[in-house]
Structure 1
Amino acid sequence: MSGEDLGDALKGVLEGAIIVLFGTIVGRGAGLLTEVWVVRLFSQSEYGLFRLSILVTTLIASIATLGFVTAIPRQLGVERGEGTTNQVRQTIGAAFIVSSTASLFLAVLLYRFASQVAVMFDTPALAGLLRTLAVALPVVVLLDLIVAVSRGLGNSRPKLYFRTLVPKFGFLAGVAVVNVLEYPFETIVIAWVGSHVLAVAASVVYARTTFEHQPSWPSVTISRDLVRFSFPLLAVYIINSIGSWIDTFVVGYHGSATVVGLYSATVLLTRLIPMVLGSVSFMYVPIASKFHGRNDQETVSMIYTTMTKWITGLTLPIFLTFILFPGDILSAVFGPEFRNGATVMQLLAIGFMTHTLLGTNGQSLIMLGRRRFLALSQSASVSMNLALSFALVPLIGIEGAAIGSAVAYTITNVITSMYLYHVAGLHPFSWNYVIPVGITIAIFSGIGVLVSPTTPLSLGTLFLFAMAIGLAHASVYIVTRSVNEGELEMVRAVSSSLGLPVGPVVRILKWASKP
């Protein structure tokens, strides 16, 4: 492993992560504003109905992708590394043809059986929304595939443009129109569909004019091999989708649309915690797969450990703020009636942070081709979540669903990381990772225990508190001399690429990397 190779690899992950993270932050901001607007524009029960319809449609869309969203980036990364241009084009063509056929078939089924699905949730009004969303099902699948192909080709911009900015701001504009013209609640779903149609139209034009490799008609062998490789990942993708929302489905099964609205709003906000992890994971698989294909495990390990440190450092401010002041955050964002979701936020935050602390463990197993274990572990996670949620929700309400999710998420990620260490020796833990994180958590947990505000905190105050956590963690990181070789090489590579004068920064990092 050369320092240049490591620096270039980390720079590739970082550049892609920055683009995705920027889009995620902006998109989440627009999405959060839109969700708050919908919550305040309509009733809590109507908001719950809207979220439930989107969840059902998203789950069916995940089935229609046939696992290609996860498999394509890895497959294209390997094929590009081997220089097989014709195979790359056929793989792209196979993905589009097979998944488009599946999405059209499932869209017809969703439209036909919408009433039966609504009966499952004892919510007749859900049927009309699902029929409208059935029209958007092939659109959502095509959009996901274009983003997956771009990811495999090393281009993270389509995710920023067409999976985040266009649909989020398009939906925001649609909600504004609904508000100004005082349209009924059902038009919110039409606005959501319209925003995704606009996004897929723009993404098709972008793909046709800018993609390095255009799809070609695939051979039967390539199509079969792609489906065979993707099938276990389809199970993983579906299970992940189910696992992400199974608690909400159970809440909807046992409770009213109003309760679903409260729980969904809390989950929506708490999902900011894995935001950085998801952004880094987007480019991690294709780049790490190249080095894995060269049998350069030292570089893969350094990428994994370095990225995990940065992911955790950037996520800590969000996590600690959510843990210490959950009621104030929910009240400030959604209104005082949502303060009841405080305990749910704390429980979910712990579960999400566990994954962050362990890094891109699942993505690393995909890189290694360990698809079957990943499918089994995710199946166990969903089963555990489902069993705990069904057992606890009738007893203690929405907190039971949060406990089920947090416990299942934590146990699954610990087992996944243990298996990853067993098969590849990959883990993120070292003293220069554990010590700064431990010190930061201890300091601000103590502050949270000692300081008990008598009045609700504003969003501005909460933001300043989160910034203070970030600055404190960076300071602890430097003072404890916890910088590693990978971080130095990444800073050098990025500064060289951008032409930035970062000499003082490099000198500080060099000092902080000394034993």
Structure 2
Amino acid sequence: MMIKTKSVGMRHFREVAIGAASAFLLRGAGAGLAFLLNVVIARLLGAHGAGLYFMSLSTVIILSVVARMGVDVSSLRHISRAMVNQRWSEIVGYQRWSMWLVTSSSSVLAITVAVAAPLIAVHVFGEPELAVPLAIMSLATVSFSLLTLISENLKAAKRLKPAMLVSSVLYPFAALILIWPMTRQFGVSGANITYVVSTALVAAFGIITWNRTPEFSGVTPLRPDLRQLFKTAMPIWALTFVQQAIIPWAPLQILGMLGTPSDVGVFGAATRVSMLILFFLVAMDSAIIPKFAEFIERDDMESLQRVGQNATTMTAFLAVPVMLTFILGGGAIMSVFGPEFARGGTALAILAVGQAVNLVTGSVGYLLIIKGHESVVRNCAIIGGCVTVGLSFALIPSLGIAGAATASALSIAVSNICLTIQLWRKMRIVILPNLRSFKHR
């Protein structure tokens, strides 16, 4: 029986590994293109201009999280479960309603911020020259929200390659084509126009790809239970606001309030570089989350833990060389962006440690969400968010960029450790790397 269980576990893991392999390739291409894009932006704009770009970008990403209302992750959960039994009408219904909801809310926010951009630039950041770039970038609230949503929809429908193209590859590819002429002509505003146009094109590609999926063609959409959708989405909304807005972007925003645009430019570049580590985790997530949903639907916790541990071990093993490079050679890596960025080496090393904790804890948040424990994930995220904001205000005045990095890294560690503890309490499983188990399998 044990041998049979191990054989089944390895069969499931091979399915995940095959899916993750193509995801790794696409994520690797996307990560390389994104790194090159950030280098080009930094070289063209300098630290000061890059700071204005990152301040407007972070504002729009926060707005996008608000606009999505947790619907992207909620629809991921419902579509993933419907895929198990091929309930096509239900899948199409969830996708169409989620698109309509997100388009409406993001449009309202985009118009509001575009109008209020001069006030935000002066009274929040103390940088009047941010007004025009922020007004332009606000339009991306719609395009980036739709890009994120359709990527999650494709992922849930097991369309992994298109999902990876939409979420990580096509935007930096398109932006690299546009960035030089637009920035040369319009400066920081040109970089922001590039972001708006590129994300809009990629979102359109994702929507067209979804509509051309054979299983969804000619299907009459079943109106979803919107009350159930929002019941699931509301805890997720609070969760994603903290995880995708507060924890990654609050230190940068607070640095923008308390520091200089040049500080923000250096820290923003370090943050984007540190996120390269995450492409291993995100690529694995793309392959493994539908499998997790399948295990949970069948109440097969043993296979879930076995595959989860193997996936986390593989991800950590692949990411270690990158993480060590960032820690030991941060200054040299940051100098690629330009001489004035080299002072961000310490910040990059600190951020890399925080992302390492994220890697070794694995997809704990997604597991709890798929199982229906959104409120538990939300509470852990809120704890991490409080750490982020509190430490940012406490450390940035004295430590500057290093203080922002410390606040970010510690908040990531705290929230992920909390999630790991809760996964054991609620589901009695652990997906931390298990080197001995992985070796024997």
TM-score by length of 1: 0.80
Q: Tell me the residue number matched to 1:123.
A: 127
CA contact (8 A) 2:20 2:284 kept: yes
Cα displacement (A) at 1:84: 3.1
CA distance in 2, matches of 1:159, 1:72: 15
Query: Given the alignment, which residue of 156, 165, 170 partners 1:161?
Result: 165
Segments of structure 2 that go 5 or more residues without pairing to the other structure are none
Q: Which amino acid aligns with 1:287?
A: K
1:51 aligns with 2:7: no
CA distance in 2, matches of 1:50, 1:58: 12
CA distance in 2, matches of 1:351, 1:7: 30
For the aligned residues, what is the CA RMSD?
Answer: 2.1
1:38 aligns with 2:38: no
CA distance in 1, matches of 2:104, 2:433: 48
CA distance in 2, matches of 1:315, 1:430: 13
1:104 aligns with 2:107: yes
CA contact (8 A) 2:46 2:338 kept: no
CA distance in 1, matches of 2:271, 2:73: 24
Query: Deviations 1:379-428 (Å, cap 9, x if unpaired)?
Result: 11111111011011111211111111222221221121111112212223
Q: How does 1:273-352 map to 2 (within 5 A)?
A: 273-331=277-335, 333-352=336-355
Query: Given the alignment, which residue of 242, 262, 276 partners 1:272?
Result: 276
Q: Tell me the residue number matched to 1:488.
A: none
1:390 aligns with 2:346: no
Distance 1:337 1:136, change over 3 A: closer
Q: Which amino acid aligns with 1:207?
A: W
CA contact (8 A) 1:19 1:160 kept: no
Q: Secondary structure at the match of 1:426?
A: coil
CA contact (8 A) 1:90 1:222 kept: no
Q: Tell me the residue number matched to 1:255.
A: 259
Q: How does 1:82-481 map to 2 (within 5 A)?
A: 82-118=85-121, 119-178=123-182, 182-210=185-213, 212-213=215-216, 218-219=222-223, 222-241=225-244, 242-331=246-335, 333-429=336-432, 432-433=435-436
Cα displacement (A) at 1:57: 0.6
**Greater Cα shift, 128-137 or 209-218:** 209-218
CA distance in 2, matches of 1:141, 1:271: 20
Cα displacement (A) at 1:114: 1.7
Q: Secondary structure at the match of 2:215?
A: coil
Cα displacement (A) at 1:104: 1.7
CA distance in 2, matches of 1:40, 1:343: 20
CA contact (8 A) 1:162 1:202 kept: yes
Cα displacement (A) at 1:208: 1.6
Cα displacement (A) at 1:178: 3.2
CA distance in 2, matches of 1:260, 1:290: 43
CA contact (8 A) 2:150 2:206 kept: yes
Q: Secondary structure at the match of 2:128?
A: coil
Cα displacement (A) at 1:69: 2.0
Q: Secondary structure at the match of 1:122?
A: coil
Cα displacement (A) at 1:261: 0.6
Distance 1:300 1:253, change over 3 A: same
Q: Which amino acid aligns with 1:163?
A: S
Q: Which amino acid aligns with 1:260?
A: V
Aligned residues: 435
Query: Deviations 1:40-60 (Å, cap 9, x if unpaired)?
Result: 112311111011111111111
Distance 1:423 1:123, change over 3 A: same
CA distance in 2, matches of 1:137, 1:164: 17
CA distance in 2, matches of 1:171, 1:292: 39
CA contact (8 A) 1:178 1:184 kept: yes
CA distance in 1, matches of 2:230, 2:220: 17
Cα displacement (A) at 1:302: 0.7
Query: Given the alignment, which residue of 447, 468, 483 partners 2:439?
Result: 483
Segments of structure 1 that go 5 or more residues without pairing to the other structure are 434-480, 486-515
Identity of aligned residues (%): 23
Query: Deviations 1:236-261 (Å, cap 9, x if unpaired)?
Result: 11111221111111111100101101
TM-score by length of 2: 0.93
Query: Given the alignment, which residue of 54, 67, 71 partners 1:68?
Result: 71
Q: Secondary structure at the match of 1:238?
A: helix
CA distance in 2, matches of 1:347, 1:19: 30
Query: Deviations 1:347-396 (Å, cap 9, x if unpaired)?
Result: 11111101211221112211221100111110111111110110111112
CA contact (8 A) 2:47 2:341 kept: no
Q: Tell me the residue number matched to 2:32.
A: 29
CA contact (8 A) 2:89 2:221 kept: no
CA distance in 2, matches of 1:318, 1:326: 11
CA distance in 1, matches of 2:190, 2:332: 32
Distance 1:430 1:20, change over 3 A: closer
Cα displacement (A) at 1:143: 1.8
CA distance in 1, matches of 2:369, 2:214: 24
CA distance in 2, matches of 1:102, 1:182: 32
CA distance in 2, matches of 1:363, 1:292: 12
CA distance in 2, matches of 1:408, 1:164: 25
CA contact (8 A) 1:93 1:216 kept: no
CA contact (8 A) 1:74 1:285 kept: no
CA contact (8 A) 1:91 1:223 kept: no
CA distance in 2, matches of 1:16, 1:127: 44
CA distance in 1, matches of 2:140, 2:402: 33
Query: Deviations 1:92-122 (Å, cap 9, x if unpaired)?
Result: 2221222222112222222222222212111
Query: Deviations 1:171-213 (Å, cap 9, x if unpaired)?
Result: 101113236x654332121122111222122222222212522
CA contact (8 A) 2:247 2:411 kept: no
